[in-house]
Amino acid sequence: MEMVSLYDLSFEGLRARLVGDGLKAAHATALWRTLYRDLESDPQQREDLPPPLRRWLSEGWGKTLGLSVASVKERVESSDGMTRKLLLDLSDRQEIETVLMGYPGRFTACLSSQAGCAMGCVFCATGQMGFVRHLSAGEIVAQVVQAQRLLRAEGGALRNLVMMGMGEPLHNYDAVMQALETVCHKPGISLAPSRVSVSTVGLVPAMVRFVEEKRPYALAVSLHAATDAERSALLPVNQRWPLAELMEACRYYSERLGRRMFFAWTLIAGRNDTKEHAECLAGLLGGMDAHVNLIRLNATAGFGGGASGEAAADAFRKRLQGAGIPCTIRQFRGIDVAAGCGQLRAARRGGGGGGS
Ligand code: SAH
Ligand code: SF4
């Protein structure tokens, strides 16, 4: 029998497995609490668990049961002390990144959904790496467990989650949704679904599925350009699902779920940060309940573009706001720890990691 990581099982999956092996449904709740409320790394050693459950654990441990190991290989802190980046080692030696940002009491973890990414956005260090593989639900859950352990040791706790690390979360839909259900499940890590945000480059069929399944998480679309020619040059995925289809899916999300649509716009000097670009974007979003997050490009070795200057970013923000579109400039946190998407791993491999 194959080895199963407990982090790969949904609550229902765990319960079905236990009941199938002759245990009680209540044992699932006891084990879940141990794994996710206590963040126990060696549950078979726990003497407070009911004896049949302990027996089940010790008989299978290391043979058919385990925990997906995502060990912390490297931990880098930014000089402002507000961003920490974890480089995690997976069982097949793949490396992924998890970033922790924030202040005590309101920490946000930025999770990876894949090793590498198939979408090939030209300015992105992960895109420049290419696709390696999907992460399992358990490997995504393990990132949250590691982050929560670290924060708990300091007396803190995780409050927000964003799927904005390496990879395109909607390309790995099932694993991402299962992982998010696990970390929101009570009693456990018990995050509020409204504090979880999924960022996509714009995979239209998966966005429609997200709406139809009424997923309780916020959705953010990485837009970066407001004409097909400009967007396709930055984000090859736009050739498959051009702006008209993407915007229709965004309107569907916002109208059907009654939620505000978030857009990300990475500001690249001269490429998408002029007065004309701001006007074009305002025209595209007119009439939609939308909010735009502006992020100045974090330069990567594989892309010739540079970050917009502060004055250009500010002028862009004011133009959008003047056109009635809510808009915020976000800091690309922890640039000095190469916290841009995929940049720590790229830097360690001598690849596309700039910004450090
Ligand atoms: N694949 C998803 C989520 C991960 S990327 C997506 O693309 O939305 C998270 C965000 O970082 C995206 O908005 C992406 O466009 C942006 N990003 C990637 N590389 C960047 C860079 N070098 N500088 C600034 N933003 C970047
Ligand atoms: Fe993938 Fe997002 Fe990077 Fe594009 S920006 S290559 S979708 S991780």
Q: Ligand 1 pocket test: pick from 140, 266, 267, 294 the residue with the most ligand atoms within 8 Å of its Cβ.
A: 266
CA-CA distance, 211 to 170, in Å (whole number)?
12
Residue nearest to atom 8 of ligand 1 (CA): 200
Q: Where are the domains of the chain?
A: 4-66, 70-348
What is the per-residue pLDDT across 106-133, written as a single tens digit (0 to 9) for each?
Answer: 899 999 999 999 999 999 999 999 999 9
Q: What is the pLDDT of residues 140-161, one digit of tens each?
A: 999 999 999 999 998 889 999 9
Verdict on whether the full-model pTM lies above 0.75: yes
In this structure, the number of other CB atoms found within 10 A of the CB of residue 221 comes to 22
- The minimum-distance atom of ligand 2 relative to the CA of 201 is 7
Within this chain, domains 4-66 and 70-348 share the same CATH topology:
no
pLDDT recorded at residue 103: 75
Instruction: Identify the weakest region by mean pLDDT among 82-96, 179-193, 235-249.
Output: 82-96
Report whether CATH 1.10.150.530 matches the domain 4-66.
yes
DSSP structure string for 222-271: E---SSHHHHHHH-GGGGTS-HHHHHHHHHHHHHHHT-PEEEEEEEBTTT
Residue 13 or residue 341, greater confidence: 13
Count other Cβ atoms within 10 Å, centred on residue 248.
Answer: 14
Going by pLDDT thresholds of 50, 70 and 90, the confidence category of residue 353 is very low
Q: Which residue's CA is the closest to the ligand 1 atom numbered 13?
A: 222
Report CA(91)–ligand 1 centroid distance (Å).
Answer: 26
Domain 70-348: give its CATH architecture: Alpha-Beta Barrel (3.20)
Distance 172 CA to ligand 1 centre (A): 16
Which residues does residue 221 pair with via DSSP β-bridges, in sequence order? 200, 263
Residue 285: is its pLDDT beyond 80?
A: yes
For the annotated catalytic residues, the residue numbers are 97, 341
Q: Classify residue 255 as left (phi > 0), alpha (psi -120 to 50) or beta.
A: alpha
pLDDT digits (tens, 9 = 90+) for 159-170: 999 999 999 999
**Which pLDDT value is given to residue 343?**
60
Atom of ligand 2 nearest to the CA of 125: 3
102 CA to middle of ligand 1, Å? 19
Residue 355's pLDDT band (boundaries 50, 70, 90)?
very low
pLDDT of 76 reads 81
Provide residues with CB under 6 Å of ligand 2.
117, 119-121, 124, 126-127, 167-168, 201, 222, 341
DSSP letters for 62-102:
TTTEE----EEEEEEE-TTSSEEEEEEE-TTS-EEEEEEEE
Q: Of all helices (H) and strands (E), which one includes residue 312?
A: helix 310-322
How far apart CA 86 and CA 82 sit, in angstroms, is 13
Residue 155 is encoded by which pair of tokens?
């007396």
Ligand 1 atom having least distance to the Cα of 224:
15
Strand boundaries in the chain, DSSP class E? 4-5, 65-66, 71-77, 83-89, 95-103, 106-110, 114-116, 131-134, 158-163, 196-200, 218-222, 261-267, 290-296, 327-330
- Residue 311 to residue 300: CA distance in whole angstroms: 22
Q: Give the β-pairing of 290-296 and 95-103.
A: unpaired
Q: What is the pLDDT of residue 106?
A: 84
